[in-house]
């Protein structure tokens, strides 16, 4: 029925799913409406006539589904940059309000039947009709499951709502059938009473649809499964350290995602921009969502109270791993205002350009804060002038001595 059914993010294919569900619903509901209406008029049952109109309202729902999908698949334009996807939910709102009005009308008629007593006629046919009504609930349940399966596949709220129309009709069929059979066996009040019950179910479905459609139009939070999927895709991009503050703006056929991605503090602007592009491209390719990425520097570790000896080991290891540093000394760690102030003297090649030395200090600041935790790093650069007393470099000019905590003592 849908040869190119694969890409459910394509508005045209999505609409075909909607048309298929609506076609099945219209055919099934038209058949059941005529059956209920004819039988209801024959036996003079208000509950069955009310249920017939309820079933007919489902046909109206399906027609609005067709109209909603026809409009929602239109491409975006200058006045509607995010497309027409929310038309589906506006259509749902219209259906819901009409259902509430129908339900209120039948409550009034049912109450009138209770006050102005009217009996069911053709009792023999009435019993058969009651049994038929209970049997038709199975048809409505099958239609409901069909609508749910398609609605879940394309993630369409209006199809799920249509499924609940079918399911509520299945329930009311059982109620109406019991009411008709009970009325033929000496309990005539059951028919109008069950007419009120059916009408209340119709109103309830209408109110739920109003709530669902309104929540979407106002802007409801996305389900956790979608958030987890976006989080997993963003974290799979090389260079992303963490993801937070994921927001999804749903416009029906199009969705816009915004998120914050954590990256290393020492990345260049060009490298960070490339990571953001990779995240956007990945989400767009797999989910067809427009994505906006805000890059944050990787959060520093919280301050942990450890001995100064361990703190020195952390700093020493970081400095020793830097090939541009000839040596280092005079490491001081002072606790000030809730964080450590680390002071260090670095010996570097005396011919090192100022620009490279500035970049070295910036990178060291990021590395120390990431591995050490919350701290300030104060770096004093010294050119290598052959003063071996403060140098850890192995070279032919080194004078003999003893190395104590990064300082040579004769």
Note whether 93 and 214 are within 8 A (CB): yes
φ and ψ at 74, to 5 degrees? -60, 140
Cross-strand partners of 290: 256
Same fold flag, 11-218 and 308-409: no
**3-state secondary structure at position 280:** helix
Question: Closest by alpha carbon to 29, among 143, 171, 197?
Answer: 143
Q: How far apart are the first and last CA of the chain?
A: 90
Q: What is the mean pLDDT of residues 206-212?
A: 82
Q: What is the structure's pLDDT at 408?
A: 38
- Domain segments of the chain as ranges: 11-218, 224-297, 308-409
Architecture in CATH for domain 11-218 = Up-down Bundle (1.20)
pTM above 0.85, yes or no: no
How many other CB atoms are found less than 10 A from the CB of residue 243?
A: 21
d(CA 366, CA 196): 71
Which are the contacts of 85, defined by CB distance < 8 A and separation ≥ 6? Answer: 11, 72, 250, 251, 252, 253, 254
Q: What is the structure's pLDDT at 402?
A: 40
Give me 272's structure tokens.
């960070």
d(CA 15, CA 70): 7
**3-state secondary structure at position 298:** coil
Architecture in CATH for domain 308-409 = 2-Layer Sandwich (3.30)
Integer Rg of the chain from CA? 36
Architecture in CATH for domain 224-297 = 2-Layer Sandwich (3.30)
Q: What is the structure's pLDDT at 217?
A: 75
Average pLDDT, the chain: 76
d(CA 183, CA 32): 22
Q: What is the pLDDT of residues 167-197, one digit of tens each?
A: 777 777 777 777 777 777 777 677 677 778 8
What does DSSP say about strands 255-263 and 242-250: parallel, antiparallel, or unpaired?
antiparallel
Q: Residue 79 burial by CB count (10 A; 0-12/13-18/19+): exposed, middle or buried?
A: exposed
Q: What is the structure's pLDDT at 184?
A: 74
Q: What is the pLDDT of residues 371-381, one digit of tens each?
A: 776 677 888 88
Note whether 58 and 167 are within 8 A (CB): no
Note whether 330 and 345 are within 8 A (CB): yes
């Amino acid at each position: 029925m849908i040869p190119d059914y694969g890409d459910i993010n394509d508005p045209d294919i999505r609409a075909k799913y909607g048309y298929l569900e609506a076609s099945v619903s219209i055919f099934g509901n038209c058949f059941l409406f005529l059956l209920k209406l004819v039988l209801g008029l024959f036996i003079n049952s208000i509950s069955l006539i009310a249920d017939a109109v309820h079933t007919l309202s489902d046909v109206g729902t399906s027609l609005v589904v067709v109209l909603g999908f026809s409009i929602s698949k239109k491409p975006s334009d200058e006045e509607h940059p995010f497309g027409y996807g929310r038309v589906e939910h506006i259509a749902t709102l219209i259906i819901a309000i009409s259902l509430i009005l129908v339900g209120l009308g039948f409550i009034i008629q049912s109450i009138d039947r209770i006050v102005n007593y009217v009996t069911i006629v053709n009792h023999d046919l009435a019993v058969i009709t009651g049994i038929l009504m209970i049997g038709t609930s199975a048809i409505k349940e099958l239609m409901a499951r069909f609508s749910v399966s398609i609605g879940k596949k394309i993630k369409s709220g209006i199809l799920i709502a249509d499924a609940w129309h079918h399911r509520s009709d299945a329930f009311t069929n059982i109620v109406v059938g019991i009411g008709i059979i009970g009325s033929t066996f000496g309990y005539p009040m059951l028919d109008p009473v069950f007419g009120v019950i059916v009408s209340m179910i119709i109103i309830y479905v209408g109110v739920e649809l109003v709530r669902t459609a309104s929540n979407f139009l106002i802007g409801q939070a996305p389900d956790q499964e979608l958030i987890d999927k976006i989080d997993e895709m963003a974290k799979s991009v090389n260079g992303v350290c963490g993801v937070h503050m994921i927001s999804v703006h749903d416009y029906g056929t199009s969705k816009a995602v915004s998120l914050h991605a954590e990256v290393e503090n020492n990345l260049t602007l060009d490298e960070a921009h490339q990571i953001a592009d990779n995240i956007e491209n990945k989400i767009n390719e797999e989910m067809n969502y427009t994505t906006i990425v805000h890059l944050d520097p990787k959060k520093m570790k919280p301050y942990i109270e450890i001995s100064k000896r361990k703190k020195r080991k952390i700093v020493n290891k970081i400095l020793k791993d830097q090939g541009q540093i000839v040596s280092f000394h005079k490491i001081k760690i002072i606790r000030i205002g809730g964080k450590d102030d680390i002071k260090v003297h670095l010996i570097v090649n005396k011919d090192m350009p100022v620009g490279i030395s500035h970049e070295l200090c910036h990178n060291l600041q990021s590395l120390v804060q990431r591995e050490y935790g919350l701290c300030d790093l104060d770096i004093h650069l010294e050119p290598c002038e052959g003063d071996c007393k403060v140098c850890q470099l192995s070279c032919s000019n080194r004078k003999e001595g003893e190395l104590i905590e990064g300082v040579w003592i004769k």
